[in-house]
Amino acid sequence: MLPMAERYNYRQANDVAAAAAHRMEEDTRTIWFENEDIQAADSPYLLPLLQDSFASWRKDTEEQLMFEDGQFVLFDWEMNLISSTVKLDSQADVISTARQAAASIIASGTTEEEHTLGAVAVPVYTRSDHRPFCVLVYITETKHSSDKHVAQLSAIHFRTCFYRRFEQLYIKDLLMHQQRTDKEASRRDALFLAAKRLYDQFDVTSVLSEMLSSLEQLYPNSAAHLFLSQDHVNGDPRVRPLVFKNAAHDLVAKSFLEGKLVTEQDRDGTKRLAVPMTGKQAAYGVLCLTVNAEGWDDADLPAFLLLADTAGSAFENAKLYEQSNLLINELRLINELTKRLNQSLKLKEIFKFATTELLGVFDADYCCILQLNKEKNQFVVMSSNIPAMSNEHFSPEYGFSGIVHRTKEPLIISDYWHTRVVNSKLMDNTGARSLIATPILVESEVEGVIMVAHKSANFFSYDNYKLLQVMSTHISLAITNASLHAEVRRMVITDNLTGLHARHYLNEQIQSRQRKDPLGALILVDIDHFKQINDTFGHQVGDQILVQVSNIIRGSIRQGDIAARWGGEELAVYLPGIRSDQAYRIAERIRTHVEAETKPVVTVSCGVSEWTFENEKISVESLFYRADMALYEAKNNGRNRIYVGQAN
């Protein structure tokens, strides 16, 4: 019969083993992955699991009395010491004994426990393929028959603790995997929504704002900035221009130039990531994210790269949409401008209309259109919203108009006061800082210059610069058409020899004046003995006499008076708002100047008539008839004299 203490220990060991077996059976019933087990490939990673399992087993059994009679030592199947309950003062001897027992059983490959002096070694098997993976050694100072049972039951209990710990780790891995999967699913959903919101935007500013907001939601403990490689006015301080100062050491510039992700980490642990924001056509900037190392997981990197790629495509689409709308608006604007310009063939109206349109299109403060006067070799301000600039004259070498005239190229000035390349009366007098200017070209020659200015610096964009060039082409065509029309009309209403107006133009003007003015006078001038001059000196001299007399008439009348060649050697002058007595004095001035200044000397006879709104019959024919009768009377009374026709 066993001693009481031994029976007590044995009974306790049985109870522990039974409880462990019950737990294992319960675990087997409730856990769905009961067939999961360690594999041979897991051997390098078993050490912490065995240590934790031994600690768990020891905690379960530390209240039992079996540790008072013996100690336990655990080895893996490679004879590595895992852990033990041996006290420090006897550790070396006990471990040595345990190692011998464990080595014996491992070397023999037996599945039975090994008995040596004071030690029982029991292999622990896997639950699926019954493969030994560690050895539990029980050591007592005195050998008892119950040692074998204690060792066996302890091994079973340890195996239960091991698999419980193994299952906990397995579940932990599953939970971590599930959390990671849930996180990735959540991240994918967030990315999908962010991508949808990005692609829903058709405005460049909205795309950029949405992208930065999405970054803040995905990475709440970070700071995001976007560095754009192209001009874009954006009120968000996180959107900045991309500047290449030191590309070798600048994270952002390096990422843009190399076209790939670039990262760096500061000494304080702050991590910075820069990735190009690219579309199908080009790279538009760099997205930079600054985050603490603790708040960053490398698993977040694909999402960051995907968002940058999505933002690049959305930005490109918005930019293309913006450019398409801009082109459509420009075409509509140009079409409307061309239609409006072609409605008038008067140069003054075209210049004035063009000035008004340019101010509105570019939201500018000032506009000047200059035309080159080739006879005087100077630019003349034909139209401007600056009263002080009206009819100003400039040398073709002066100011910005001089640069445009010399280069035949448009120009853009972002800030006149900081980059004062030339003096400009337009900019100085108005205080303007931004300027765009373009030549008005006719057959590749500069015929004028258009200048548009604004008080603010950096006001005009490159698109404005290009649009002004296109608009100048259509303005140039309108000016050319109006000039050609004016020239054709001048030729139609002008006598080629004398340079005076044609007779039909004089008739039209008198008829028009009689509908508006209260009175007017007509002088008919006839060169005396003109046939004799032709017969004596020849028709060439006769033509010269006609030109001389015409020039004298032109110099003797007012700017608003109308002189015309009435026919042959007869000339006519209509004087709006003049009575016959004043007309007589003007005719006398013409007569005396002709007699004194012509070579060969000739004389003229003149007939004068007038009309007033009080006349019963007002017509061009009656006015000419009375003047013609007066001229006939002057010629019949000796020539070189003036007669005034009387109203009937």
Catalytic center residues = 569
CB 408 within 8 A of CB 439: yes
**CA–CA gap between residue 486 and residue 447 (Å, rounded):** 16
Q: How many CA atoms lie within 13 A of 223 on its CB side?
A: 8
Instruction: Tell the residue number behind the tokens 């110099």, with chain if given.
Output: 555
- Please state whether beta strands 262-265 and 270-278 pair in parallel, antiparallel, or not at all (unpaired): antiparallel
Contacts of residue 539, defined as CB under 8 A and 6 or more positions apart, other chains included, come to none
Measure Cα distances from 530 to 122, 608, 639 in Å.
Answer: 153, 20, 12
Contacts of residue 287, defined as CB under 8 A and 6 or more positions apart, other chains included, come to 211, 215, 224, 225, 226, 274, 275, 276, 277, 307, 308, 311
**CA–CA gap between residue 112 and residue 123 (Å, rounded):** 8
**CA–CA gap between residue 289 and residue 393 (Å, rounded):** 57
**CA–CA gap between residue 557 and residue 552 (Å, rounded):** 9
Beta strands in 344-478 (DSSP E): 366-373, 378-384, 393-394, 411-413, 434-442, 445-454
- Could you tell me the two tokens for 295? 């708040």
- Could you tell me the two tokens for 528? 């005396």
Instruction: Tell the residue number behind the tokens 């075409």, with chain if given.
Output: 331
Largest CA distance in the chain: 184
- Could you tell me the two tokens for 316? 């490109």
CB 354 within 8 A of CB 336: no
